[in-house]
Structure 1
Amino acid sequence: MDINVITAFFGWCLLINVAIYSLSTLLLFTFNDWIIKLHSNISGVNACELPRLYFQYLAHFKIAITVFSLVPYLALKLLVN
């Protein structure tokens, strides 16, 4: 497998992950009350705890994107150039 193919793979992974992250952030902040009500009913978690859990989810997702998509992509881009 060529290094350019691997670089393109990580580039696409990064793009897809950032799109999912942006969409989930937009939905969480736009439909906050509806999502809290839905998740509270489904999971039984107290509605007061859910905003904290959402921020933890977004923080962990951002760290995962950085570690598993952005850093390998940038490292491979530096190697290729």
Structure 2
Amino acid sequence: MMSIEQLTTLFGWLSIINIVLLSFSAIMILAFKDFITQIQSKLFKLSATELMPIYFRFLAQYKLLIMVFNVTPYLALKLMI
């Protein structure tokens, strides 16, 4: 069984890793927008105007999941210590 300190450390690192991945994804989408939309429009038969809202919806949902499943448990455990 894991102690509260170990769980706090685990959720802290999970939060950091996922926030870095979210930031990297956002930077890549913004920096290489034309290249990414060109490839994915061919793969999924969607136009570039249809893909941008999908990208931002993905980023928003990923951010929400990080907050709910990583950051919130971390903060709750930090308050318990």
CA displacement at 1:46 relative to structure 2: 2.3
Where in structure 2 are the equivalents of 1:66-77 lying within 5 Å? 66-77=67-78
Tell me the equivalent position of 1:24: 25
CA displacement at 1:42 relative to structure 2: 1.2
Where in structure 2 are the equivalents of 1:1-81 lying within 5 Å? 1-80=2-81
In 2, the alpha carbon distance for the partners of 1:40 and 1:6 equals: 42
In 1, the alpha carbon distance for the partners of 2:25 and 2:74 equals: 23
Gaps of 5+ in 1: none
TM-score (normalised: structure 2):
0.95
TM-score (normalised: structure 1):
0.95
In 1, the alpha carbon distance for the partners of 2:39 and 2:13 equals: 32
In 1, the alpha carbon distance for the partners of 2:11 and 2:46 equals: 36
Superposed CA offset, 1:45-66 (max 9, x none): 2221000001100100110000
Give the fraction of aligned pairs with identical amino acids, expressed as a percent: 40
In 2, the alpha carbon distance for the partners of 1:55 and 1:15 equals: 21
In 2, the alpha carbon distance for the partners of 1:6 and 1:38 equals: 40
Gaps of 5+ in 2: none
In 2, the alpha carbon distance for the partners of 1:19 and 1:42 equals: 27
